[in-house]
Amino acid sequence: MKPNARAKLLDAAFGTIRERGYAATSVDELCARAGVTKGAFFHHFKSKDALAAAAADHWSQTTASLFASAPYHDHADPLARILAYIDFRKDLVRGEIAEFTCLVGTMVQEAYETAPDIRGACWRSISGHAQTLEEDIQAAIEKYHVNGVTAESLALYTQATIQGAFILAKAKNDAGVAIDMIDHLKRYVELLFTCKGREGRRP
């Protein structure tokens, strides 16, 4: 049905770009890893940048289905769902660094100035994923009477923290530091919703 080479190239891009970055990834290397020829590459993508933008979009779809089927939605309390989401993100941090870090977070640092299409695709990926958290956050804000924070801003903050955790893991060459950072994020959410003289933990 769908062309095979295209899917293999997008899959190869996930791996190679997360390992070496976008600019350092050559079209030839991508083709070799995907087991296709250069002709196939430029048949499916009009340029290397177009492949990158397509990879970012494909990343959005891949992560969307991963998180949609994840178990953290199965809590009655919205705050419990948020905390379970954070735990789930922590559980994903295992194996090689290139296997759990974020494709679009890596790419956007190289492309934000020079490639607007890639930048836009990366932002759609990050903000689109953040939006899937907004409903739960909004419900928790109302249930626990938190003020001074918007659901959109807090949702983005979870993503910022996780992206930063990945940078530290890469710099230290140690996944453990990323887990520590996500623990801080969880503590922040707990404090935010259960402290500071707010009305009730269970309304």
- CA-nearest of 156, 143, 123 to 194 is 143
When binding is defined by CB under 8 A, the residue of 38, 43, 94, 184 that contacts its own copies is 184
Residue 21 contacts its own copies per CB under 8 A: yes
Indicate which single residue of 21, 47, 174, 176 sits in contact with DNA (rule: CB under 7 A).
47
142 binds, options its own copies, DNA, none, Cβ within 5 to 8 A by partner type? none
By beta-carbon proximity to its own copies, the closer residue of 62 and 109 is: 109
> Radius of gyration of the chain from Cα atoms?
19
Q: Is 44 in the site for DNA (CB under 7 A)?
A: yes
What does 48 interact with, of DNA, its own copies, none (CB < 5 to 8 A by kind)?
A: DNA
The correct pick among 68, 95, 171, 199 for binding its own copies (CB under 8 A) is 171
- With binding defined as CB under 8 A, does residue 199 bind its own copies? no
> Exactly one of 173, 199, 200, 202 binds its own copies (CB under 8 A); which one?
173
Q: Is 20 in the site for its own copies (CB under 8 A)?
A: yes
Letter for the amino acid at 46? K
37 binds DNA (CB under 7 A): yes
Question: What is the enclosing helix (H) or strand (E) of 65?
Answer: helix 48-68
Q: Is the dihedral of CA 43, 44, 46, 47 positive or negative?
A: negative
Output the DSSP codes for 115-140. Answer: -HHHHHHHHHHHHHHHHHHHHHHHHH
For 141, the 3-state DSSP assignment is helix
Residues in the site for DNA, rule: CB under 7 A? Answer: 1, 3-6, 25-29, 36-40, 42-44, 46-49
